[in-house]
Amino acid sequence: MTSSIKEFYDRIQFPGVYTMEQLSAYETPIANPYLRIIDEQISPGQTILDVGCGTGLVTNLLGLRHPTSKFTGIDFSQSMMVGRSFSHIHNLDNVCFLQQDVFDLDFKNYFDVVICQGVLHHIPNYHKALEILVNFVKPGGTLILGLYHPAGKIIKKIFQVDYGNDVLFQDQELNPFEISLTLDQIKESLEEFILCRAYPRYLNNYWIPSFLNYKNGGLVTYVLQKSG
């Protein structure tokens, strides 16, 4: 299954190819709520690890917006070469990319922020992957997880979705492996963390508008802080 997933992402190059003009056009604050909630967690001088970065769109975007912070993007697919090429062409000295599987990570340092957006639900052994990731978050640091929520997946089956983007269509409809997860399903790996923020908004243990983002499979982004 792992080889099938890798071949899939080698081919589709998610989330796609981009230009400097496109990244420079992002406003402040960023209109996209999923990107905005990530962007708001970055402070000057921090170290950030982006796990499952794909073509590095988010990694390079954040690198441009936070020039004094250091970003490392990793992905097991060849898609990360797109991000690496972009960072070299545009002299983003605060951004680097590695082609590496999450299960082979061997960093000797901790990170202020670890991002894993839209990745765990494509990993069959997601519990083990998460156990590895939390170890790279500094005490007092931030873990950002983006997970498909079951409610969004149910509603996506009801409505016909016009993705308007072939790469997004393939990622959502043709993925060789995909599950949906609630925060409760992975909490056993997050005993040292507290939930600080989320999008969509969290209220009385229910996600309010999961149906509003069914085009993204009901993606929910959680911001968690590690105890210091």
pLDDT tens for 16-39 read 999 999 999 999 999 999 999 999
pLDDT at 9: 98
pLDDT tens for 69-81 read 999 999 999 999 9
pLDDT at 203: 53
Domains of the chain: 2-226 (3.40.50.150)
pLDDT at 137: 98
Q: Token pair for residue 112?
A: 């202020």
Q: What is the DSSP letter of 179?
A: -
Surface-to-core class of residue 176, CB atoms within 10 Å of its CB (0-12 exposed, 13-18 middle, 19+ buried): middle
Question: 55 φ, ψ to 5°?
Answer: -80, 5
What whole-number distance in Å separates Cα of residue 132 and Cα of residue 30?
A: 30
pLDDT at 202: 57
Cβ neighbours of residue 33 closer than 8 Å, sequence gap 6 or more: 199
Q: Which of 83-87, 91-95, 172-176 has the lowest mean pLDDT?
A: 172-176
User: Which residues lie across from 226 on neighbouring strands?
Assistant: 193
Cβ neighbours of residue 63 closer than 8 Å, sequence gap 6 or more: 69, 71, 87, 92, 94, 95
Q: In whole angstroms, how far apart are CA 80 and each of 9, 16, 100, 126, 155?
A: 10, 11, 10, 21, 32
Element (DSSP H or E) covering residue 169? helix 166-173
Residues 97 and 73: beta-carbon distance below 8 Å: yes
Is pLDDT of 171 > 80? yes
pLDDT at 212: 54
Task: Please give the model's pTM, rounded to 2 decimal places.
Answer: 0.95
3-state DSSP assignment of residue 189? helix
Q: Which residue has the higher pLDDT, 84 or 184?
A: 84
Going by pLDDT thresholds of 50, 70 and 90, the confidence category of residue 169 is: very high
pLDDT at 1: 87
Q: Token pair for residue 151?
A: 């409610």
